[in-house]
Structures are given as structure tokens and as C-alpha cells.
């Protein structure tokens, strides 16, 4: 497994652990209130830490373990994998933005909008990282 393939695995673990914690601990009963919106925003601080620690530690660990692999330039296959993954993530992102606009137009408070926006980003990132892992495993 190459260095560039290990990074999406770390990102997948970080996304699932950080945002799994976020959505499991979010106070859903107050989601559509100003307090719910502020809670959602303040909960992003530990989410950032939970996400960044494995990313930085994992990337550093794998870079130290195989420095030649980490210094290699990205080849055409890897560029194609990244482009395909980003392309696939665009569709749920666009749908999520439209859903967010619908929620705001129909009078929901900002708490639900912030939660839908965060969920949209997380789903798009999971699709991007997951598809990249799929393409790496398939050898595209």
C-alpha cells in the first residue's frame, strides 16, 4: 500500500471518529434554537482536534516509516484517482446545498441549517475518500 493510499485511510478513520462523536453527542432537542446553533458551532472545536490528531500523527508516522515513498511526486494514476473522487463528491455536496437552501427558505432556524450543512460536507468527504480508496484498491 502506497503512502498516498494510506492518507485516505487515515482521513476515513478521522472523519468517522470525529463526526461520529459530533452527531452522537449533538443535543438534538435544542437543534432548532439559537443555543443549538451555538452548540453546533462550538462542538466543531473538539471535532477539529479529533480529526487533526490522527491525520497529523498518521501522516507523520507513515512519512517517517517510508520517507522515499512520501517524497515521490504524484503520478498520472494518482491524479486521476483524486480527480474522480472529487468529481463524485460534488453531487452530494450540490444536493446538500440545495437542501440547506430549502430548509432556510421554509422558515427553519439556523440550527438545522448548520447541522445539514455540516452533514453535507461530511457525506461529500466520505464519498470522496471512500471512492479514492475504492479506486486505489481496484488499481485504476
Q: Are 6 and 14 in contact (CB under 8 A)?
A: no
Helix or strand or coil: residue 127?
A: helix
| pLDDT for res 123 | 95
d(CA 131, CA 84): 8
| pLDDT for res 31 | 80
d(CA 100, CA 85): 23
Give me the percent of the chain exceeding a pLDDT of 70: 100
Alpha helices, DSSP H only, in 26-75?
34-42, 44-65, 67-71
Count CB-CB contacts under 10 A for residue 118: 20
Task: Please give the grid coordinates belonging to residue 140.
Answer: 485504476
| pLDDT for res 19 | 94
Helix (H) or strand (E) holding 81: helix 76-105
CA separation, residue 81 to residues 73, 76, 89, 127 (Å): 14, 9, 12, 13
Q: Which stretches in the chain have pLDDT values below 70?
A: none
Amino acid at each position: 500500500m502506497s503512502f498516498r493510499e494510506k492518507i485516505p485511510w487515515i482521513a476515513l478513520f478521522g472523519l468517522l471518529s470525529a463526526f461520529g462523536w459530533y452527531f452522537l453527542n449533538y443535543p438534538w432537542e435544542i437543534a432548532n434554537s439559537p443555543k443549538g446553533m451555538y452548540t453546533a458551532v462550538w462542538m466543531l472545536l473538539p471535532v477539529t482536534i479529533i480529526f487533526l490528531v490522527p491525520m497529523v500523527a498518521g501522516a507523520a508516522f507513515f512519512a517517517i516509516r517510508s520517507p522515499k515513498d512520501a517524497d515521490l511526486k504524484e503520478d498520472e494514476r494518482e491524479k486521476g484517482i483524486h480527480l474522480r473522487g472529487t468529481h463524485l463528491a460534488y453531487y452530494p455536496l450540490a444536493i446538500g446545498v440545495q437542501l440547506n437552501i430549502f430548509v432556510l427558505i421554509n422558515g427553519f432556524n439556523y440550527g438545522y441549517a448548520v447541522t445539514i450543512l455540516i452533514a453535507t460536507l461530511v457525506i461529500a468527504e466520505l464519498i470522496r475518500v471512500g471512492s479514492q480508496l475504492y479506486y486505489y484498491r481496484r488499481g485504476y
